[in-house]
Structure 1
Amino acid sequence: MDRLSNLPDEIICHIGSFLSAKEAAFTTLLSKRWQNLITIKQTLHFDDSIESFKDFADRLSSLQVTSRVRKLSLKWWSLESDRVNHCLRDVLKCGVLDLNLWINGKQGYSLPFEVFTCKTVVKLSLGFRFSIDMIPENALLPSLKTLSLNDLKFFEFGGNCAFQTLLAACPVLEELFLSDVNWEQWKWSRTVSSLSLKRLTIIRTKWDDYDTSGFKSISFDTPGLVYLYYSDYVPKEYLNVNLNSLVEAKIILRPQENHIWNERHGDPFYPMNLLQGLKNVEILNLHSYQTLMMFYVFREALPVFEKLSHLSVNLSRYCWFPIKFMGSLHFRKFNSLCHCLSEFSFLDSCPLEVLKITEYFGNQQELRQMEYILGKLSCLELVQIHFPMATGEKKAKLEYKLQKLPRASSKCKFNVVV
């Protein structure tokens, strides 16, 4: 029995990487399956801070014509773009699967068009500080499933936005990661549009560097999206939002610089389309105080979250807000819930079964809020609670006080976690 043939592709590729070109050629005669596996190099990496470009070019030239590169990682800061792009074109001919390009674009660097027509690349990561002015008309990345864009700028050419053209060239894209794309600097389409996209991550790490006064709108046309991580400034409006398949969302949003949420008529921000677009979500994490404030200020626009089964909120600086949910609820902090909680009657009919509290300190205000909540939630089965500042006798005392509180649900139990 041929045991080697039963090994996973990754292991056969790893074994083949130790063979000489002559040995690899003989080996491929034994199995048709090996012909595409035994010539794959695991990783080709270049970093001009630790290696000379000549050494990298020598390694590249040693590749056989039939060799394939599983992963190519290039990091350079000071090299001439023509030399780099020449080598990059050669590697793209080797059927690269995972392409990671980390480039200092201060010199006006432009990617070669061959990057956008590579038929084999499955994972593509591009960054940082360079611009993509134009995508070729024949752009097509038929195998690309994961795309990461870090600190890049996109421009419009011939009436077409390069960002939208790039997404349109990725027919099987499943995951999109956008970091510091600085939408506010765009004067063209700010639309994430993809029928195949399943996971979308938008992260802003620099909050105060730019003037956001021109940040007018964003659209999400992603009907197949199931996961959204969205951390950014809120534009003036969301023109189109299609998130009908969304299952999980983590939202960290802020109003633009020098503004606050305002429920009076004429508020400069109009996030209603986004709020309505979240109506089918099952797991919702409202991570920041400002996000909670947005949900509260625009509470009249909130949909009924009929599918919501898990809600996680950070209440470190804010009180309870009237959002209807079912299933489980997670609090990051509990100590600032105020007496206004008693104004909301939705707890009486809430089918909440699990309540998780990440930080409970046991002061009198917290104890009163716990007594009120436990007295209302008739379906509650489990309260999972963490005492971050208590150990030993103090921890036991806090737990004893909670256990003594009356509960609307006879099934309710406490679980103190470390």
Structure 2
Amino acid sequence: MDRLSNLPDEIICHIGSFLSAKEVAFTTVLSKRWQNLITIVQVLRFDDSIESFKDFADRLSSLPATSRVRKLYLKWWSLESAGINNCLRDVLKRGVFYLNLSINGKQGYSLPFEVFTCKTVVKLSLGFRFSIDMIPENALLPSLKTLSLNDLKFFEFGGNCAFQTLLAACPVLEELFLSDVNWEQWKWSRTVSSLSLKRLTIIRTKWDDYDNSAFKRISFDTPGLVYLYYSDYVPKEYRNVNLNSLVEAKIHLYPPNIWNPDYLYPMNLLQGFKNVEILNLHSYQTLMMFYVLREALPVFEKLSHLSVNLSRYCWFPIKVLGSLHFRKFNSLCHCVSEYSFLVSCPLEVLKITEYSGNPEELRQMEYILGKLSCLELVQVHFPMATGGKKAKLESDLQRLPRASSKCKFNVVV
């Protein structure tokens, strides 16, 4: 038997993806096994900055009618979009698993409805700058588990929000990624609703087009969500929030008017975090929001890992953390000596990600170590410290008195 016949199916399919239609027809005569495998195109790519649309259409039409396409990466930034949807319909009939469409929709481009009725697609990525006005009544993506939406517009049609209809058509969706889907500018439901969703990422990369007057409310009806990364402005209201299964939350929020309680009311969202085990307050503005609303914060009974970023700011908002139960804390201000909550704090692990060992930092470390009676591990990162400097930094730390007899140091360079 020849060596090629001993190759795994995946490698044979990969080899076949480089052959022309004529070569495919020839090779399928050689072996029944190859006849079944060689018609699987693992990856099909089109970038209109590299290849003409005619060449791509010819390449697609040259495939045997029985050929299947596993993945399609399509980048279409030309102003003229005639014919592109016909090619998409062709690929969708070929059992595609992964569909990545990057299309410039400035000229009013609309996706073909067949995108929303594909039974095989598992991962779907859509962008950029086109509108989804309506979803067909028979929309159903029964295999879709990952959905990425980048810089898209959603509208209501006949009283139905296209975004809500899209999510409802994804019964097994597990991961949703939203980038620059600017809730305040487009008239849609502003609701993320999915019973199956486990991971949700919301990212704003454009911060200069914020419309304060229209940014009124957001709702999260995601009872099965376990992971949330949320980077955006804070709206006036979180109308409904169901995050009962949330385990990890990374929050990077910007309250437009943090000192005005009449405007800022994110309490439903904060209550939704009450069951989290891992909480990352990614920005100083987020920590300030927690500080301003400290009297109304829920009890974080399950919280075991808390991270904050205070490398360039005063530590005074950290007072709000005195009422929390946590075990891990990443980060270190002149006002730290004023915090009496450290005495009763059940902190077990302290991670300091940037430490240079100067006299001021050493005094802060001495105060902290002298108060935290439950501390078991201090992990200190010395960036760029090697040789003798690293040894001196370690020695200075080891000489500091500690309230906890169990406290040990772990020095990382």
- TM-score by length of structure 1 reads 0.87
Which moves more between the two structures, 241-250 or 72-81?
72-81
Q: Is the 8 A contact 2:141 2:171 kept in 1?
A: yes
Q: 2:232–2:253: 8 Å Cα contact kept in structure 1?
A: yes
Contact conserved, 2:325 with 2:346, CA < 8 A, in 1? no
Given that 1:319 and 1:337 are in contact with CA atoms closer than 8 Å, whether structure 2 keeps it comes out as: no
Q: Which moved more, 1:399-408 or 1:327-336?
A: 327-336
1:348-389 deviations in Å (ceiling 9; x for gaps): 333322111011233444323222221222221211112236
* Corresponding residue pairs, total: 411
Distance in 1 between the 2:321 and 2:333 partners? 22
Note closer, same or farther for the CA distance 1:170–1:5 as it changes in structure 2 (3 Å cut): farther
- Name the CA shift for 1:133/1:407 in 2 (closer, same or farther; >3 Å): same
Shift in Å at residue 186 of structure 1? 2.5
1:365–1:213 Cα change, 3 Å = farther
The alpha-carbon distance between structure 1 residues 147 and 9, as it changes in their structure 2 partners (threshold 3 A), is farther
Using the TM superposition, give the Cα deviation of residue 5 of structure 1 relative to its aligned residue in structure 2, in angstroms. Answer: 11
Match for residue 415 of structure 1? 410
Name which of structure 1's ranges 192-201 and 340-349 shifts more when overlaid on structure 2. 340-349
Bigger mean CA offset, 145-154 vs 295-304: 295-304
The CA deviation at 1:137 is 0.6
Change (3 A) 1:333 1:68: same
**Residue 103 of structure 2 is aligned to residue 103 of structure 1:** yes
Relative to structure 2, which stretch is displaced further, 100-109 or 361-370?
Answer: 361-370
Name the stretch that deviates more: 347-356 or 137-146. Answer: 347-356
Q: CA deviation at 1:408?
A: 1.4
Give the distance between the partners of 1:118 and 1:107, measured in 2 at CA.
Answer: 25
SS at match of 1:91: helix
Distance 1:313 1:4, change over 3 A: farther
- The answer to whether the 8 A contact 1:308-1:325 is kept is no
1:142–1:172 CA contact under 8 A, matched in 2: yes
Report if aligned partners of 1:155, 1:161 keep a CA contact under 8 Å in 2: yes
- Work out whether residues 258 and 292 of structure 2, in 8 Å CA contact, stay in contact via their aligned partners in 1: no
User: 1:63, 1:336 → 2: CA distance?
Assistant: 57
* 2:12 match: secondary structure: helix
How many angstroms does 1:302 deviate by? 1.5
C-alpha contact (below 8 Å) 2:331/2:353 kept by paired residues: no
Residue of structure 2 in register with 1:260 after alignment: 258
> Cα RMSD over matched residues?
3.7
Q: Which region of structure 1 is more displaced relative to structure 2, 113-122 or 337-346?
A: 337-346
1:112-147 per-position Cα deviation (integer Å, ceiling 9, x unaligned): 111101111111000001111111111100010110
Contact 1:241 1:273 in 2 (8 A): yes
Contact 2:307 2:331 in 1 (8 A): no
Tell me if structure 1 keeps the 8 A contact 2:164–2:193: yes
**1:377 alignment partner, SS class:** coil
- Secondary structure of the 1:195 match is coil
1:289, 1:314 within 8 Å by CA — same for their partners in 2?
yes
Structure 2 unmatched runs, 5+: none
Q: Residues 240 and 268 of structure 2 are in contact (CA less than 8 Å); yes or no, is this contact kept in structure 1?
A: yes
Matched, 1:116 2:111: no
Unmatched 5+ stretches in structure 1: none
Shift of 1:260: 3.5
- Displacement after TM superposition at 1:390 (Å): 4.4
For 1:333 and 1:384, locate their aligned partners in 2 and report how far apart those are by CA, in whole Å. 10
Deviates more, 1:187-196 or 1:392-401: 392-401
1:271-305 residue CA offsets vs partner (Å, 9 max, x unmatched): 11111101111111111110111111111122121
Normalised by the length of structure 2, the TM-score is: 0.88
In the alignment, the residues of structure 2 paired with residue 116 and residue 240 of structure 1 have an alpha-carbon distance, to the nearest angstrom, of: 27
| Mapped partners of 2:36, 2:242: distance in 1 | 40
Cα distance, 1:403 vs. partner? 1.4
Give, in whole Å, the separation in 2 of the partners of 1:33 and 1:301: 66
SS of residue paired to 2:393: helix
- Whole-Å separation in 2 of the counterparts to 1:185 and 1:111: 21
Q: Which sits farther off after the overlay, 170-179 or 352-361?
A: 352-361
Q: Which moved more, 1:323-332 or 1:286-295?
A: 323-332
SS at match of 1:250: strand
- 1:209-230 Cα offsets, whole Å, 9 max, x none, are 2323210011111111111111
Deviates more, 1:377-386 or 1:193-202: 377-386
After superposition, the Cα gap between the structure-2 partners of 1:273 and 1:331, relative to the gap in structure 1 and judged at 3 Å, is: closer
> Residues of 1 paired with 2:177 and 2:6: CA distance?
35
For the residues of structure 2 that align with 1:330 and 1:351, how far apart are their CA atoms?
Answer: 7
- Distance change (3 Å), C-alpha of 1:192 and 1:33: farther
Q: Structure 2: how far apart are the matches of 1:233 and 1:383?
A: 34
**Residues 2 and 409 of structure 1: is their aligned pair in 2 closer, same or farther, counting only changes over 3 Å?**
farther
User: Is 1:335–1:361's contact at 8 Å kept on the other side of the alignment?
Assistant: no
Question: Does the 8 Å contact 1:318/1:336 carry over to 2?
Answer: no
Sort the Cα spacing of 1:332 and 1:8 in 2 relative to 1 into closer, same or farther, 3 A: farther
Answer whether contact 1:304 1:324 (CA < 8 A) is retained: no
Shift of 1:56: 0.5
* Alignment check: 8 A CA contact 2:176 2:201 kept: yes
State the partner residue of 1:366: 361
How far apart are 1:396 and its partner, in Å?
Answer: 3.1
The structure-2 alpha-carbon separation of the partners of 1:247 and 1:17, relative to structure 1 and needing over 3 Å to count, comes to: same
Work out the CA distance in 2 between the residues paired with 1:118 and 1:26: 31
Alpha-carbon distance in structure 1 between the residues aligned to 2:226 and 2:180? 22
